[in-house]
């Protein structure tokens, strides 16, 4: 029988993303769940593991509801104290708060700039022509959205895989990202597989060589040619897209690159 949610008073969302796992989030989760069980609070609380909460610099992170309380650097001892504070006193553990509803700032000692994307550079492109290029983000949260948009937009252009085989971009019919690591691009009569899921740094398999680590957006000078190049960890091209669609390029600028545009000619 499932948990009776009508009895649950507090829900603890424990991040299980890559950075939090490296910071021993899994052990923290085990220890705090054991505390909840042994303290008799199993039925009136609930714990949920999440994917990345978007605050990797503060790993491990928790979110507690109700109240929208965010916590930073949660270890087993801090986690137990957070649970005690909410369950027994219905109050946050102030010293460990990262953010709470109504705050105007995030209380982090490790705050990072939210601009991971560099401005376009004017340089020679892989085609040999001059143009502008920048590196976007390559997590599956960005790439899956990119491929969804491509599929929905029916972009005219060419997709090229890592061994040079080409497919019309408009022939992409469906995509499948149900596997933990790979996304399937289903063209008319062909399927291409790209590795976009998180691969551990110590993974020594072929996954490391095929995983997309760099996503580069470019537009050629004095032409309508635009495109995206996907590269692996050592700079080898995994795949590429070449197109002339201004509408799809505008999406790339606005959504994938966070509004960064080519503002001046070199």
Which residues on adjacent β-strands are paired with residue 168? 158
| CA angle centred on 142, ends 47 and 219, rounded to 5° | 170
In a shared domain, residues 71 and 130: no
265 occurs within a structural domain:
no
Predicted TM-score (pTM) of the model is 0.74
- Quote the number of domains for the chain: 2
Phi then psi for 69, rounded to 5 degrees? Answer: -90, 130
Per-residue pLDDT tens digits of the chain, which is 266 residues long: 588 999 999 999 999 988 898 899 999 999 999 999 999 999 999 999 998 888 999 999 999 999 999 999 999 999 999 999 999 999 999 999 999 999 999 999 988 765 567 889 999 998 899 999 999 999 898 999 999 999 999 899 999 999 999 999 999 999 999 988 899 999 998 999 999 987 766 656 666 778 899 999 999 999 999 999 999 988 999 999 999 999 999 999 999 999 988 864 44
> pLDDT digits over 56-93, tens only?
999 999 999 999 999 999 999 999 999 999 999 999 99
Instruction: State which residues form the domain around 163.
Output: 121-256
pLDDT of residue 197: 82
Measure the N-to-C terminal CA separation of the chain; round to a whole number of Å: 66
Question: Looking at the DSSP assignment, which residues form a beta bridge with residue 219?
Answer: 132, 226
β-strands 10-15, 62-65 pairing: antiparallel
Residue 112 counted as domain residue: no
Report whether 256 contacts 116 (CB < 8 A). no
How is residue 190 annotated by DSSP?
E
Whether the Cβ atoms of residue 190 and residue 201 lie closer than 8 Å to each other: no
Query: Is residue 263 one of the residues assigned to a domain?
Result: no
106 part of a folded domain: no
Taking the C-alpha atoms of residue 56 and residue 54, their distance in angstroms, rounded to an integer, is 6
Query: Does one domain contain both 128 and 234?
Result: yes
The alpha carbon of 54 is separated from its chain's Cα centroid by a whole number of angstroms, namely: 8
């Amino acid at each position: 029988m499932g948990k009776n949610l009508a009895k649950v008073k507090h829900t603890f969302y424990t991040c299980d993303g890559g950075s939090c796992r490296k910071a021993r989030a899994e052990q923290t989760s085990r220890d705090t769940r054991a505390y909840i069980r042994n303290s008799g609070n199993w039925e009136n609380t609930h714990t949920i593991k999440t994917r990345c909460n978007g605050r990797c610099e503060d790993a491990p992170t928790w979110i507690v509801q109700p109240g929208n309380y965010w916590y930073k650097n949660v270890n087993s001892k801090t986690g137990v104290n957070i649970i005690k504070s909410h369950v027994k006193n219905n109050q946050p553990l102030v010293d460990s708060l990262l953010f709470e509803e109504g705050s105007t700032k995030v209380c982090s000692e490790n705050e990072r700039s939210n601009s991971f994307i560099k401005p376009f550079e004017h340089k020679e492109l892989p085609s040999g022509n001059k143009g502008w290029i920048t590196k976007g983000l390559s997590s599956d949260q960005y790439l899956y959205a990119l491929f969804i948009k491509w599929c929905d937009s029916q972009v005219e252009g060419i997709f090229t895989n890592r061994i040079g085989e080409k497919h019309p971009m408009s022939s992409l019919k469906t995509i499948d990202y149900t596997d933990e690591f790979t996304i399937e691009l289903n063209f008319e009569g062909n399927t291409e597989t790209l590795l976009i899921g998180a691969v551990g740094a110590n993974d020594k398999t072929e996954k490391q060589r095929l995983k997309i680590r760099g996503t580069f957006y470019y537009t050629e000078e004095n032409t309508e040619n635009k495109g995206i190049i996907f590269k692996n960890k050592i700079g080898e091209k995994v795949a590429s897209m070449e197109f002339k669609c201004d509408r799809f390029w505008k999406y790339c600028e606005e959504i994938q690159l966070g509004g960064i545009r080519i503002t001046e000619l070199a």
